Structure 1
């Protein structure tokens, strides 16, 4: 499946995306962070791939922690910003549906933050991630939660909930965020089958509470934000090569 249309869309919205996703204060990163850094441990001098790196801010966090970082993304517009802002990281433009660039490089860890659900074909990519990891290094990724993200909150007789329908259907959905892009919905079991098919063992599954977009003490949250925190709209997974 070609991702040329998806890449064009990301090039078109690169400015809006970069302005909205500003770094470590972002809600999704704050939810990923505990699992990410617990899994990675000390990465000083280690080779780490920031897969689907976008405008490079997460790669810079990895580099600041001592890693030798490579960032790969399909969007030339996002990579232009990344290279300008983070010159100490090696950035590569590449369509992720084709897998990783050849010949494969070796990495001690691979991180893909909020990427995989936006790529239409993942078999080649996950296969290459597995082949590129050395010393049974971790693959840590986060995605929109397949169960809950795409379903609007419902208020009925004073009760709030999310109505989940069509969960098992594979769908391409239009997401209006950042000017618009495609999201590829797949059930959670599909991701686990994908990982095991390509030789990964899952070591952790993290379903963090949904956090407000701007960080502030929980005592300052609205009633709606407190309720929303009980529903995980993203999840994070860590896995390692099975052998």
Structure 2
């Protein structure tokens, strides 16, 4: 069985833009849903709507894959599923280690979507000796002392960090030194990695703050349309026009 150590996705060598790569999983999710309903073909408009993009962008993205729909028929669903899965490297097995088995790490371990999307949880790692041997999602937790051996024995190239922020960089350094070249980081901190190591950061608090921004803006727009003052919460977030003691304008939020 192929592992992530010996086979790399072809997207970069084929010159596919990163923005297109980021949308491929959206298309694959929509196509998989169509496949499960035994839908044989789909138009660019229908697939774009299901993926949340416009059809012109979708057609441009698919042109990088060398996939062009048939006029009047659309795209073959099963073939596109195969094409995108191959391009994303999902036609092979990718062993993954999850480091940090607290509430978040345990939730990730219990996520049922890994196996169906080409990923296998090879090991669960935690620094707490009391966690060693305890099963989470049917997998016994192993101590961090075993980290390098697990990565070597299982050919792991993808690591998931779900530790507290203070431990994340040290864990990252050990993963990279052991041969991991891709990291999914859930810790609320920025990781420093050498060239050739890819890091994707997932920060739920940042996503919620972005949503709060949009909610605040909508509240202000609705209030303006009604000719009334915006809600208190929205007013509190408006930039101040009062200058500070040094003549500068205070920031809305601390850096």
Q: Same fold (TM over 0.5)?
A: no
Class of the TM-score when normalised by the shorter of the 2 chains? 0.3 to 0.5
Structure with higher strand content: 1
What TM-score do you get using the length of structure 1 for normalisation? 0.38
- Per the normalisation by structure 2, the TM-score is 0.36
